[in-house]
Amino acid sequence: METFEKYARQIALAGFGEVGQKLLADSSVVVVGAGGVGSGALPLLAASGIGRIALVDCDVVSLSNLHRQTLYDAAQVGQSKARAAAARLSALNPDCEISFFDEQFGVCGKFESLIERADLCIDATDSFASRTAVSEVCSRVGRLEILASAGGYVSQMMVLGGGFYFDKYVGADSTAASEKSRGLPIFPAAAHLSGVWAAGAAIAHLAGVSPLEAGVFRIFDFRTGVLRKFNLLA
């Protein structure tokens, strides 16, 4: 009864129901990146009733993060993002099993095993090098990946899988691998929307409401209010 009350408003949705809620409870998601995009995605994932979330981030909270990374507050400046985010999510929903890795994501057996045990992965990182690494691991273990990013006033989300992954699509030359978006201008809502998109797509997929479709790419520009959607495999 308590579980029903907690999730009653989404259980009442057409096509969701108690079956969808049970599917969420039995599911597992890996989120790489607990920054601006991760701040939009992680609370929604935990609050929705997903059973297990593993998050990976090697960074610490800085003052310049706080205008968009709303998982954190001023008292947490200097603290591990992964640890602070895990504590926040556990407080938000104690029924969600949270694990965290306060380290750089890499192409290695530990992270391959982590993603292989999950149902899908959300890449909320901020560099070509990290996106290529996450995509390579997802490709190796055959897991769907949601790539969410933001820059300036623009939000982006792409679904990868079925042989279509970031490393195959854009490649990874030495210039791209070293380019980081950290420090570049960012509209707070753009980062959050990317995370919200990713979380919503993941929840709908895992609950059996709307399966993810590899190759779908969405872009929204807050300056123009224009939303565009492409199917890169069409």
Name 164's bridge partners: 161
Boundaries of every domain in the chain: 2-231
Q: What tens digit of pLDDT does each residue of 119-146 get?
A: 999 999 988 889 999 999 999 999 999 9
User: Is this model's pTM higher than 0.85 or not?
Assistant: yes
- Going by C-beta distance under 8 Å and a sequence separation of 6 or more, which residues neighbour residue 35? 57, 59, 65, 68, 69, 81, 124, 126, 191
Residue by residue, DSSP assigns the chain as -HHHHHHHHHHTSTTTHHHHHHHHHT-EEEEE--SHHHHHHHHHHHHHT-SEEEEE---B--GGGTTT-TT--GGGTTSBHHHHHHHHHHHH-TTSEEEEE-S---SSHHHHHHHHHSSEEEE--SBHHHHHHHHHHHHHHT-EEEEEEEEBTEEEEEEEBTTB-HHHHH---HHHHH-B-TTS-B-HHHHHHHHHHHHHHHHHHHTTSS---TTEEEEEETTTTEEEEEETT-
Q: What tens digit of pLDDT does each residue of 81-99 get?
A: 999 999 999 999 999 999 9
Task: Report, as an integer, the average pLDDT of 30-36.
Answer: 96
Q: What tens digit of pLDDT does each residue of 152-199 get?
A: 999 999 999 988 887 666 654 433 433 444 568 999 999 999 999 999
Are 56 and 101 in contact, with CB atoms under 8 Å apart?
Answer: yes
Looking at residue 163, its pLDDT comes to 81
Looking at residue 173, its pLDDT comes to 43
Mention the CATH class of domain 2-231.
alpha beta
